A and B are shown apart, each in its own frame.
Chain A
Amino acid sequence: MDFVLVAKAVGALAAIGLIAAGMLSAASRRFTVDVDPRIESVLAALPGANCGACGNPSCFSAAEAMVADTLPVTACTAGGQSVADSVAEALGVEKCAVSSAVSMRHCGGGRAASRSFDYAGVMSCTAALRVAGGDLACPNGCLGFGDCARACPFNAISMDERGLPVIDLDACTGCEVCVSECPRGRLDLLRMGPAEGSVVVRCASHDRPKARKGYCSMCCISCKKCEKACPHDAIHVVDLLAVVDYDKCTGCGVCVDVCPQECIDLSGRTNIWGDPAFLDGRGPKVEGFMPRKADEAGSHD
């Protein structure tokens, strides 16, 4: 045994260790960063999905902004009231009410809308739109490849048999990720609306009604029947398209009943042919409301 060599080896390692330890302990004192302990507790209250709905890239930066008082405690759209309450509690400020919103699809086309060519490329709306403007003849309609469903951080969107995204109102947090992910989100295909039961116009096209009817059998035809029927003056045909004023809408469903195109629908309902079982329970209960095509259920496609 070469004890000198062993001693040298131990000495060398000990020297390196001592130098490193000295350097690190000096650095930890010199470079301490004071982290506000409240950031941790606010972060624990946030959902942690990093959805970006509040305008911050991550829940951590949202927590920092909330502690710094540059972001309101109710800013977490994904968390809703319960998260806002626990954030307020963590920060020791007064609780306040959150207005909730959910994503709404403004298209009822799906397989009822005509296609201008057979698309066989990458199964994504963004990709399909790059090929000659997409296979869908309607310039505003849903392409149906489910970019929104894949993007949803809360798995609230699923694609149904009509090739349309269906939004689960209980799971939707209003984070708007789907709206920004949808290549036609800016064309109002997906738009935010109140979470409490209300109606949606399942059409986003501003084309002339005749042109619209040429490529989709489910479109709004600007007939103004809803406008005349609405007891609350909440729905108007603006720029050839029925638009709901959610400040006035009570979700009574008269327009749903009167629409000859079945273009107006209760939000969150998964089947336009109206199986009441599809009503999510949060939607309004409409007395005497029976969809006209109930007997045709299943015969579409």
Chain B
Amino acid sequence: MMETLAHFALLLVGAALVNNILLTRFIGLCPFFGVSNAMETSWGMAGAVLFVMTLASTATWVFWNWLLVPLGVGEFLYIPAFILVIASLVQFVEMYLRKAAPSLYRSLGIFLPLITTNCAVLATATEAVKPGFFKMNLAYGFGFGEAVVYTVGVALGFGFALITFAALRERLEVAPVPDVMRGTPMAFITAGLLSLGYVGLSGLFGL
């Protein structure tokens, strides 16, 4: 029991901090720079990503293990299949939210179509069914529970990095930055420094 718990905890921390999707793996950088102007929108984006990623990985895990693997077509078909699954799922959720929870729809509404087939969502969905997919040398698949915990970890790491970055950018807005460096150039430098900090976490708990 303890071992399982420790395994899940390590999985969560590893996904959130050590292998932070934004700052050590550089996936999903478009929203990282796009919506990090203000804390408010980055909170919204973080919430929407957590929501969509968890749903997407759950759905793709089911399709992968019950359809693509038994047919033996997963290795080359995973991208179109996952995009199809994620896109229609997000559409469905959008419709449902609009009907059932209009206030939630209004706060998440603008972010949902944005991250439908966001690279971070696709990468996480892929990794959740086949960890180390991009290394192609792991003959190990996540169980359903592991896939969900891993995805939640990635989404939390995404949100954490995005919100800290937005906080930094808000401070930089009023800081005496030289004119040529204002705005995006300064954001790039900040992102680089932040990324250095995250790279320093590799090796934590032997992950």
Contact = CB atoms under 8 A, between A and B. Distances in A.
Given A122-B174, A124-B174, A127-B174, A16 B92 contact: no
Interface string A18-31: 00110110011011
Contacts of A8: 71-73
Q: Give the interface size class of chain B.
A: 20 to 34
A184 B174 CA distance: 20
B71 A12 contact: yes
A68 interface: no
Contacts of B88: 20-21, 23-24
Interface in B122-167: none
A24 B92 CA distance: 6
A171 interface: no
A32 B63 CA distance: 27
B contact face: mostly helix, strand, loop, or mixed: helix
A4 B92 CA distance: 32
B84 A16 contact: yes
B9 interface: no
B66 to A, nearest CB: 11
Interface residues of A, number: 22
B71 A16 contact: no
B30 interface: no
Contact of A27 (B72, B76, B96): B96
Given A24-B91, A122-B174, A16 B63 contact: yes
Interface string B165-179: 000000000111000
A208 to B, nearest CB: 36
Nearest to A23: B92
B85 interface: yes
A16 B67 contact: yes
Given A12-B71, A20-B87, 15 more contacts: A9-B71, A11-B71, A13-B80, A15-B67, A16-B67, A17-B84, A20-B85, A20-B88, A23-B92, A24-B91, A31-B96, A31-B100, A32-B99, A122-B175, A124-B174
Interface of A: 5, 8-9, 11-13, 15-17, 20-21, 23-24, 27-28, 30-33, 122, 124, 127
